[in-house]
Amino acid sequence: MIDLDSVDLSKLEAVLDTDKGKMVVAFYAEQAPKHVRNFADLAQQGFYDGLAFHRVIRNFMIQGGCPNTREGQGGIPGTGGPGHSVEAEFSDLPHKLGVLSMARSSDPNSAGSQFFVVHSKHAEFLDGQYTVFGYLKDGLDVLDALASVDCDFSSSGERSVPTERQSLNSVTLQVCEEPQAADESETAKEGSDSGAEV
């Protein structure tokens, strides 16, 4: 267990273990300290373990972190949370490929546990509207695999519901020796844009 009160949050990493492989996340602790701490707290509590990516739109994003996606859990996927919210920390960080950002309702300060990983070269229309708090340091191939699954239409008519469960088996924190600059991450890799909305 990492002591989150004493650790340098900029040196934290999270390993997202999925059915398609592992994605390693580094954090923007300076720009979104509350969201990084919230995500880390939830991860260490095991909140994310056994959940699923319930909303998948290729060339846009994959979304997870809803407790209603735990097997055997009731409730509509995409509507659950941790029982608290985090005040928005909007910044000028762009929603580029591999970026992690917090999902929310129409209330800017309603983010709780749900997050999305951008699968687009640059979803510009999200910039400044959602809190960017991390990026994939490794695992863009896993993101591609998760974003490429077959999907059915949701009740709202959006083709985003995976036909097979896309499990988030666990989220494990680790401390990196040196904080990594964003321009060293995999997020510079080319992708394609989409007009879908979060």
Q: What is the pLDDT of residues 33-56, one digit of tens each?
A: 999 999 999 999 999 999 999 999
Instruction: Output the six-digit token pair for 116.
Output: 């999305």
Average pLDDT of the residues in 58-81: 93
DSSP 121: S
- Sign of the Cα torsion 163, 44, 16, 110 reads positive
**More confident of the two residues 179 and 96:** 96
CATH 2.40.100.10 fits 9-178, yes or no: yes
Domain spans, the chain: 9-178
pTM of the model: 0.89
The answer for 5, left when phi > 0, alpha when psi is -120 to 50, beta otherwise, is: alpha
Q: What is the pLDDT of residues 83-117, one digit of tens each?
A: 999 999 999 999 999 999 999 999 999 999 999 99
